[in-house]
């Protein structure tokens, strides 16, 4: 029987084949466009549309981990209003910060 903690575990294993990466890219694009706030939808969804196709497996995993965070934190990190935690201080966050110069400090 699965425990509550185990059911909430998130598997961020990196996919290894192109078909799996294609499915992951579609899933991430959907999640990026359906955040719950219009601002985050536009920022993350627009970023996904522009960049997901070219992200490598590790970068897709970084983006997937980022999407687990709350919108206000992500927008704060993107804008420079909040310090980026070490687990999200990576290439994907650097791309996000360059993508959204209008929210950068």
Q: Decide if pLDDT at 103 tops 60.
A: no
CATH topology of domain 17-99: DNA polymerase; domain 1 (1.10.150)
* 67 and 31 Cβ atoms separated by less than 8 Å: yes
Return the closest-CA partner of residue 68 out of 95, 98, 44: 44
Write down the pLDDT at residue 18: 74
Contacts of 99 (CB under 8 A, 6+ apart): 43, 46, 47, 50, 51
Q: Decide if pLDDT at 2 tops 80.
A: no
Domain ranges (residues) in the chain: 17-99
pLDDT in tens, 17-31: 778 999 999 999 999
Going 84 to 87 to 91 to 95, the CA torsion angle's sign is negative
Write down the pLDDT at residue 64: 97
């Amino acid at each position: 029987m699965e425990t509550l903690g185990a059911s909430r575990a998130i598997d961020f294993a990196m996919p290894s084949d192109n078909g799996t990466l294609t499915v992951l890219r579609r899933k991430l694009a959907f999640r990026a466009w359906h955040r719950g706030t219009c601002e985050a939808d536009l920022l993350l969804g627009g970023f996904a549309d522009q960049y997901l196709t070219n992200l490598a497996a590790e970068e897709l995993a970084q983006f997937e981990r980022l999407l687990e965070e709350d919108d206000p934190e992500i927008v704060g990190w993107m804008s420079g209003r909040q310090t980026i935690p070490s687990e999200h201080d990576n290439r994907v966050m650097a791309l996000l910060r360059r993508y959204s110069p209008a929210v950068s400090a």
